[in-house]
Amino acid sequence: MSPPIEKLPLGALVALVVGSMIGGGIFSLPQNVAARADVGAVLIGWAITAVGMLTLAFVFQTLANRKPALDSGVYAYAKAGFGDYMGFSSAWGYWISAWMGNVGYFVLLFSTLGYFFPVFGQGNTPVAIGCASLLLWAVHFLVLRGIKEAAFINLVTTVAKVVPLLMFIVLAAVAFKAEVFTRDIWGAMSPDLGSVMDQVRHMMLVTVFVFIGIEGASVYSARAQKRADVGRATVIGFLGVLALLVLVNVLSLGVMSQPELAQLQNPSLAGVLEHVVGPWGALLISLGLAVSLLGALLSWALLCAEILYATARDKTMPAFLTKENANHAPVNALWLTNGMIQLFLLITLFSAGTYTSLIYLASSMILVPYLWSAAYAVLLCVRGETYERASARRMKDLCIGGVALCYAVWLLYAGGVKYLLLSALLYAPGVILFAQAKREQGQPLFTAVEKGVFACVLSGAGVAAYGLYSGFLAL
């Protein structure tokens, strides 16, 4: 007999959220932001991000409590509110974003190890890719042992990787200099940054990437011990990570100037701490990053396999993805996910710019699932579904959902046309799996509205394909 599915407590759910969000992004944050904005724009950008992401966290909390039957997270909300194809697209985009982020994490991990072992280079040498592949399949077989075991290891690594970040915050606070922080608040000495609005817009996609994973607990709704813990884990995890991100970014701007930070190599947090305490600071951050990335790899291996499994279980993807082993691990979903990661790891041998491109493309792919979730929360309030008529709670949730929806639209604008087109190119092939799932159920492929949506996706994909061929778009 198969063992019963073990449920995840609040601590494990919080660790999944924190572990998913704290990967490699926070360790590269000082350089990534400084290359696009100076102090004033950074503070404005974080204010917008804090409000936008907090409302998004509240959206996931509200939906988890008001729609307990929708236990697959972002995908389920899109399907319930806007139909099968939009639900499928949400799951497809979320899945691609997840495994693309993992490819980037593998490259960054071995680039960091290159600090100690030059044979790994920038993380895309043959030796680095070979070792990354071995690690990929080690994580794969760990997850096959069961969700509970992997989630426990993720809890341990989450605690371990937060320690060097807290040490950095303390040391950077001691070294903080007001004259460095206020040297050029609006970036007037760095005309390449553009206007303040341009600076804010350009840094927004960076902040999206470091918050990907905020929905982690909602993906595991069906495996939570208590339904209410899903919303609590989302908000607790978000607030903790937000505090770490803002402190790391803002304190760095008081230790080194914007031009100095912009020139650092990643992980730039190592360069900042080395500036404060010497070489051992870079060593500490490099070790912390290695632990952080290992934990993030595990979190995302869990998340992207689970989203495929949940989508197939609800018959939006083909039935073969519902297969589980004796430990209740979604085996076919995991094999498909890690097969794609392995393919793109091999591609990094021939593409020097793959890491940066993947990070931004992964951020762009996650925007559509976030937008559909916020839109569904607004739709519930407008319809009055699950609410008493004209209740104060309904108006409050409508305001929160409206802000989250505006923020999601703003992020699509901030990402720019390039990544919107490239996202369409990745969304379009998913129709093959969607068509197979529909055929298994004997249903027509699209509704009239879905035909129009798919036509737009296909048009964008065509423009992107031509752009890559002709050279006006580049990865």
Has residue 361 been placed in a domain? yes
Q: Which of the two residues, 4 and 388, has the higher pLDDT score?
A: 388
- The percent of the chain in helix, strand and coil, each rounded to the nearest 5, is 80, 0, 20
Which residue is associated with the tokens 């409302």?
55
Which residue is associated with the tokens 């909602």?
218
Write down how long the chain is.
475
- The region of weakest confidence among 38-42, 67-71, 136-140, 200-204 is 67-71
Spell out the residues 6+ positions from residue 25 whose beta carbon is closer than 8 angstroms to its own. Answer: 32, 206, 209, 210, 359
pLDDT of residue 285: 82
Has residue 470 been placed in a domain? no
The DSSP secondary structure of 192-223, one letter per residue, reads GG--HHHHHHHHHHHHHHHHTTTTHHHHTGGG
Which residue is associated with the tokens 């065509």?
462
pLDDT of residue 1: 40
Here the tokens at position 325 are: 């082993």
Confidence at 2, pLDDT banded by 50, 70, 90: very low
Has residue 431 been placed in a domain? no
Here the tokens at position 33 are: 């932001």
Condensed to tens digits (0 to 9), the pLDDT of residues 106-162 reads 888 888 888 778 888 877 789 999 999 999 998 888 888 765 555 566 666 666 677
Report yes or no: 464 and 473 within 8 Å, Cβ to Cβ: yes
Query: What predicted TM-score, i.e. pTM, was given to this entire model?
Result: 0.81
400 phi/psi in degrees, rounded to 5: -65, -45
Q: Which residues pair with 224 in a beta bridge?
A: 8
Report d(CA 161, CA 311) in Å as an integer.
Answer: 31
Q: Domain limits at 150?
A: 10-416
Has residue 462 been placed in a domain? no
Has residue 330 been placed in a domain? yes
Q: How many domains does the chain have?
A: 1
Has residue 423 been placed in a domain? no
Has residue 156 been placed in a domain? yes
| CATH number for the domain that contains residue 274 | 1.20.1740.10
Spell out the residues 6+ positions from residue 195 whose beta carbon is closer than 8 angstroms to its own. Answer: none
pLDDT of residue 438: 93
pLDDT of residue 26: 83
Confidence at 439, pLDDT banded by 50, 70, 90: very high
pLDDT of residue 3: 44
Here the tokens at position 462 are: 């065509």
pLDDT of residue 352: 55
Condensed to tens digits (0 to 9), the pLDDT of residues 321-374 reads 999 888 888 899 999 999 999 988 888 877 655 555 666 777 778 888 889 999
Has residue 472 been placed in a domain? no
pLDDT of residue 342: 93
pLDDT of residue 222: 63
pLDDT of residue 74: 74
Does the pLDDT value for residue 87 go beyond 70? Answer: yes
